[in-house]
Chains A and B, each alone.
Chain A
């Protein structure tokens, strides 16, 4: 067991290292000079050289890679080329927007998706099922950024209940901040909720056909107990997988949604950093996103074993 975990951890470390190499190499290939972006069209060659030296870009690539890795390991993410402040500080500032946004979206999506999916499965073939599926179909079909735009059209432009975009900052008050995040979170959550509802339903239906569920029914357990005690547990495997897999989708969604609503979050930061060639921020952020996704996948794998005892044995 310990050997197994150690092997998985080693694989995890290798994956992270490989991710670091790929990210670094890709950003090396990317044409463009961060110093030129900062200094603009009239920049003197001496000024560019001086700024490159200040940014540490005059060192050879291998050395910069090692310095970056060393920095990552010790928690020093370097200094942003554009903003000239520690990247860690930038990430911390933006995290205060993206994390609540993502949590709100996941909470909304699971709170809507799982119950709806179970409801639909238990009322299979009836009107409720059709209604849930219609909702899921709509949720899957509507692009989240378009949904965001429609929300703006109705609740900001039309009714004036919610701000059209921007984020006042937490110090302005929790109420107004949550208000600013409500539409983006809803836009982000809609397709997730639909996916979760669908997968929960289809997985429940599959599980309900399994022999052990039939046995449970045959033993005379009530439908509700059967669902909760036997079916749900097994039906959750694909749901957990999907939740894990959705993390990247959520990040991707956040990049677009934060741009739609002009939210100063991580997604917007990475988009702007790429546009401004703030490569150190791009490197750190992509590594952060990739690392988180890798860790979540790792956790999903472990959860597999916990949920399904049969898989634990092998």
Chain B
């Protein structure tokens, strides 16, 4: 809407000026309207886990010391540079000079200390508090330097600082960020019409390169029909992740639009209760793995190919190994394994499904596939809070389907009391070693070992990676098409 009105205003001016060439119209376009499926519950990434908060605020309103680029690499942000001492636990960050919060407060080392101490405090409501627990001490030798000492070497500490949970906030505005976010980023908050749209404007006092766009609007459209209609009508210039995969062929046929199927860190798994008979039996889990025709599942859910996985790891990461062949689709072998395990006639169990459509849809197909080998999985749909309570917290489940969207989260299999109930000391030792290994090459080798271990043990049914279906106006450049971290950096967008 905004863009149209501005175009009209531009046209009016052009008509008045009369001599101005028509090109002026195209140049006048410095705003963008981006649709996304879910609306953030609040605008503070440090007090909630909802991905939608990160999608709109991270690298736009708020910034961390470092940031992740579109290939997943760590880049400087509010920290210009950093050094890790030979002890592997002392990080020395040199901070950006001249950066300011949107309310004019200068950015200094004090705010870094404040932000991290707030995140790890006893009454912290940070959703990823574990990112900060390795911190032993934060010192600020001068306003442009922060030294963080860790309790033990933590390989992914720096990566964690790029997450939304680690953005730098100012003491005076921290409490009100939920509804009136004040950060250091290239865009500042203008207005939020709850249920409909969020408006941002360029931060003219930004420390870095000036963004090409002066205005950006996020529109929250959960209805697939509305998403498609808005894209085709040009009411929105892009959709960050279309929730209607079935509309892809239709949108691909539209020359005005560009559709990309990209990857994410969302490993979708058939979560299995490894402590509960008969799923504690490796043969039963292997039988399930052989029964899962991943290609069919992905096709039934999306209608096009999405990356398939054979372990809990995203192909976006350099350490990824393709393990989809570990237990290939083979119903006969699956039946034989079930018989060996003592279930020649199969058995009954439940399949508890959270609300997202990828889970509900793949659940129906998985149930049908399991029925082929004699496992009768009764589908039980749950609302997300009930899923969290019953499946995740109380482990009251047999099978479930969910995507684990946190980046590099293979360590969840080493956590005590995690709902998969996979108890393997060897794997735990491996994860501990990964955490201490700061050398990328060596760490990636260990990651590969960990992936293989999970695949062989058939801990869960490993299905596919959630795709990121990006649809953009063909004239809009710079939109991320993969999500190593779910963000939509507006500063990288420009009109051609």
Contacts and interface: CB of A to CB of B under 8 A. Distances in A.
Q: Within 8 Å by CB, do A and B touch in the complex? A: yes
Interface of A: 30-34, 36-44, 46-47, 50-51, 53-54, 82-85, 90, 93-94, 97, 152, 156-157, 160, 163-169, 172, 176, 260-262, 264, 268-269, 274-277
7 contacts: A38-B125, A44-B130, A46-B124, A50-B122, A84-B178, A166-B221, A260-B223
Given A37-B385, A50-B125, A97-B195, 16 more contacts: A32-B386, A36-B388, A38-B48, A38-B127, A40-B48, A83-B42, A84-B47, A84-B179, A164-B225, A165-B226, A167-B195, A169-B197, A176-B1, A264-B194, A269-B195, A274-B383
Is the interface on chain B under 10, 10 to 19, 20 to 34, or 35 or more residues? 35 or more
A299 B48 CA distance: 44
A152 B122 CA distance: 51
Nearest to A168: B1
Contacts of A38: 41, 47-50, 125, 127
Interface in B1-23: 1
A306 B437 CA distance: 83
A32 B41 contact: no
* Interface residues of B, dominant DSSP: loop
B222 interface: yes
Contact of B230 (A34, A85, A166): A166
A274 to B, nearest CB: 7
A31 B42 contact: no
Nearest to B228: A164
Contacts of A82: 41-42
Nearest to A43: B127
B85 interface: no
A53 B124 CA distance: 11
Interface string B119-163: 000111111111001000000000000000000000000000000
B189 to A, nearest CB: 15
B229 interface: yes
B229 to A, nearest CB: 4
Interface string B217-233: 00101110110111001
A275 B223 contact: no
Given A47-B127, A82-B41, A166 B385 contact: no
B393 interface: yes
Q: Which 9 A-B pairs have the closest CB atoms?
A: A264-B195, A40-B49, A32-B385, A165-B226, A277-B385, A262-B223, A164-B229, A44-B129, A39-B127
Contacts of B229: 156-157, 163-165
Nearest to A265: B195
Contacts of B124: 46-47, 50
B383 A32 contact: yes
Contacts of B123: 50, 53
Contact of A40 (B127, B235, B355, B390): B127
A166 B127 contact: no
B347 interface: no
Contact of A42 (B128, B221, B226): B128
B354 to A, nearest CB: 10
A85 B384 contact: no
Contact of B221 (A85, A165, A172): A165
B433 interface: no
